[in-house]
Structure 1
Amino acid sequence: MNYRHAFHAGNHADVLKHVVLLALCDALTAKPAPLFALDTHAGRGLYALDSNSAQRTGEAEGGIGRLLAEPPRDPLIERYLRAIRACRVEHGRAAYPGSPWLLAHALRPDDRIAVCELHPEEAGQLQANLAGDPRVAVHERDGYAGMKALLPPKIGATRYNRGLVLIDPPYEAQLEEFDAIIAALRDAVTRWPHATYAVWYPIKLRRSLQPFFRRAAAVPAKSALLAELQVYPDNSPLRMNGSGMLVLNAPWQLDTRLAPAVEALRVALGEPGNSARVEWLQAPA
């Protein structure tokens, strides 16, 4: 695996993913029962936007850079920006948190978190970045294998009936990645049916995603919600025009909270020809 997220940290796709992730964490922690969260493709958990990697692409300037310069007035985006500022208080003004850091930031003392990263160097950095947090277990392993091994979760005498699984792979081979995602979701939902599952996916040509959406809608979950942000027109298969989040077993009213946030991101980050949507693939009964 050659992908390094350091080149893309803080871009428009990260912004959407992390706004949705924090919205999910806040919705799930509104109930008192403890949670288990699994991040299947965790990366290093913390990035420096002044690094050579980030500076080489400059992608963060079109994402988190724009939002911090002109923050939209939306509660979910404001929540996300508070988390960014908290990370920078702790780690410096150029820091950007990955999803493992955000999970640790948003979840409670009684919650537990497992993070998987296959690449040895990234896994080592992840371990260092999360060191000292007893809630977090770092696994240097394939994320899909981690789903099979760790779900349904039991830690000590505690069985976790509720929780969150974030699947955010690098999509180095996109069609094969979708096959792996669907297989992992079918298996996990069968064994841990009450969890919420969130899948990030890139958008090049949206119509090419229709087979994935049809298969996702057939996974035996209670609901399936899409939240998408395209910052460029849907007319080039050679670049990432946008990205989306597929959420299975979405918390109550997540769609109504996400819709204005995604629209605000479209206005703040979009170039001419942009678009956004929050729609049910499978509405809750």
Structure 2
Amino acid sequence: MLSYQHGFHAGNFADVHKHLILTLLLQSLNRKSKPWSYLETHGGRARYELSSVQALKTGEFRDGIARLWQQPVPAAVQGYLEQVAAVNGDALSVYPGSPLLAARLGREADNIHVMELHPAEAEALKAVFRQDARVAVHHRDGYEGVLALLPPKPNRGVVLIDPSFEVKDEYRQLVRFIEKAYQRWSNGCFAIWYPLLPAGHWLQMKQALAASGIRNILCSELEVSPAGEERGMYGSGMLLINPPWQLDQTLAEVSPWLVEQLQVSAGSGTGRVEWLVPE
């Protein structure tokens, strides 16, 4: 599908959840001097103007990143907020997408490959990284493109899978991709984002991954309101295959704070961090 554009949703509660975890993953990789690879299946445009027509039409960032902007945060959240602040002045006007977060956290020897199929989004993505030799932007199908590059060099790092899920088959397609990708790069960390929607297709995706034979899968889910047909996405999920040591503890500690900050109303949200499949 080429209709989805993330500009309508940039900086919302799901982005905060997803990008906080991504920042923690990349910070963990940076604790060692060895270079890493970052690959992303659905990159978007990397840099989102919150004054754009798209962002203002939905205003979703107001219930996401704007709630955390220039507020006291736990130590585990500080690195993520520092990256958001680095692309802004005194006022919150820009939201960095995952490719930009990866590039900012990347070092000189690190290697970044970002896929984007939407022509306009791919062109905007290329413009952001035109002067950055570390970042390769690929205008191609994300699943096919990432598989073609596995195993990557350097042979440690992260794959972020973040599709729009506009089509029901996307969940099955994602599982098939993970099974193939894991065969090629079993030591890689795979970060899978998914929306919590009333239809519940994400539950079948989790069940399929749990039955795939792949082990060491951590699950972090954030609900900002109870599930209900009248509301679309009520939560955000992340599955992490081969997460770094102690990330489960860090997420368990920060999850209650994140719920408190992002829930629609007091007592309406919940969070959970649990092992879908232990090591």
Q: What range is the shorter-chain TM-score in? A: over 0.9
SS of alignment partner, residue 88 of structure 1: coil
Aligned residue number for residue 221 of structure 1: 214
The question of 1:122 aligning with 2:116 is answered no
1:36-90 deviations in whole A, cap 9, x for unaligned? Answer: 110110000000001111011010000011111534x31222211111011115x
Opposite residue 226 of structure 2, the aligned amino acid is P
Q: Which shifted more, 228-237 or 266-275?
A: 228-237
Q: Which shifted more, 16-25 or 60-69?
A: 60-69
* CA distance 1:237–1:223, change in 2 (3 Å): farther
Q: How does 1:181-196 map to 2 (within 5 A)?
A: 181-196=174-189
SS of alignment partner, residue 220 of structure 2: strand
Tell me, which stretches of 5 or more residues in structure 2 are unaligned?
none
Stretches of 4+ moved more than 2 A in 1? Answer: 205-210, 218-222, 235-238
Distance 1:252 1:18 in 2: 18
Aligned residue number for residue 156 of structure 1: none
Checking the alignment, whether the CA contact within 8 Å between 2:115 and 2:146 is kept in structure 1 is no
Opposite residue 234 of structure 1, the aligned amino acid is A
Distance 2:229 2:29 in 1: 37
Distance 1:219 1:193 in 2: 13
1:164-200 deviations in whole A, cap 9, x for unaligned? Answer: 0000001111x31111110110001111111000011
Distance 1:134 1:193 in 2: 27
Q: How does 1:84-95 map to 2 (within 5 A)?
A: 84-89=84-89, 93-95=92-94
TM-superposed CA distance for 1:217, in Å, is 1.6
Percent of aligned pairs with the same amino acid: 42
The question of 1:275 aligning with 2:239 is answered no
Aligned residue number for residue 51 of structure 1: 52
Checking the alignment, whether the CA contact within 8 Å between 1:206 and 1:234 is kept in structure 2 is no
* CA distance 1:237–1:255, change in 2 (3 Å): farther
TM-superposed CA distance for 1:208, in Å, is 4.5
TM-superposed CA distance for 1:32, in Å, is 2.2
1:137-176 deviations in whole A, cap 9, x for unaligned? Answer: 00000100112211112xxxxx322110000001111x31
Distance 2:213 2:31 in 1: 25
Q: How does 1:20-35 map to 2 (within 5 A)?
A: 20-35=21-36
**Match among 258, 262, 271 for residue 265 of structure 1:** 258
Q: How does 1:93-132 map to 2 (within 5 A)?
A: 93-132=92-131
The question of 1:4 aligning with 2:8 is answered no
TM-superposed CA distance for 1:237, in Å, is 6.8
Distance 1:132 1:88 in 2: 20
TM-superposed CA distance for 1:252, in Å, is 0.7
Aligned residue number for residue 243 of structure 1: 236
SS of alignment partner, residue 276 of structure 1: strand
Distance 2:70 2:234 in 1: 22
SS of alignment partner, residue 186 of structure 2: coil
Checking the alignment, whether the CA contact within 8 Å between 1:40 and 1:143 is kept in structure 2 is yes
* CA distance 1:111–1:238, change in 2 (3 Å): same
Distance 2:155 2:86 in 1: 30
Q: How does 1:71-90 map to 2 (within 5 A)?
A: 71=72, 73-89=73-89
Distance 1:182 1:51 in 2: 34
**Match among 165, 186, 190 for residue 171 of structure 1:** 165
Q: Which shifted more, 26-35 or 7-16?
A: 26-35
TM-superposed CA distance for 1:260, in Å, is 2.0
SS of alignment partner, residue 172 of structure 1: coil
TM-superposed CA distance for 1:219, in Å, is 3.4
Distance 2:118 2:199 in 1: 30
TM-superposed CA distance for 1:102, in Å, is 0.1
Q: What is the Cα-based RMSD across aligned positions, in Å?
A: 1.7
Distance 2:198 2:59 in 1: 23
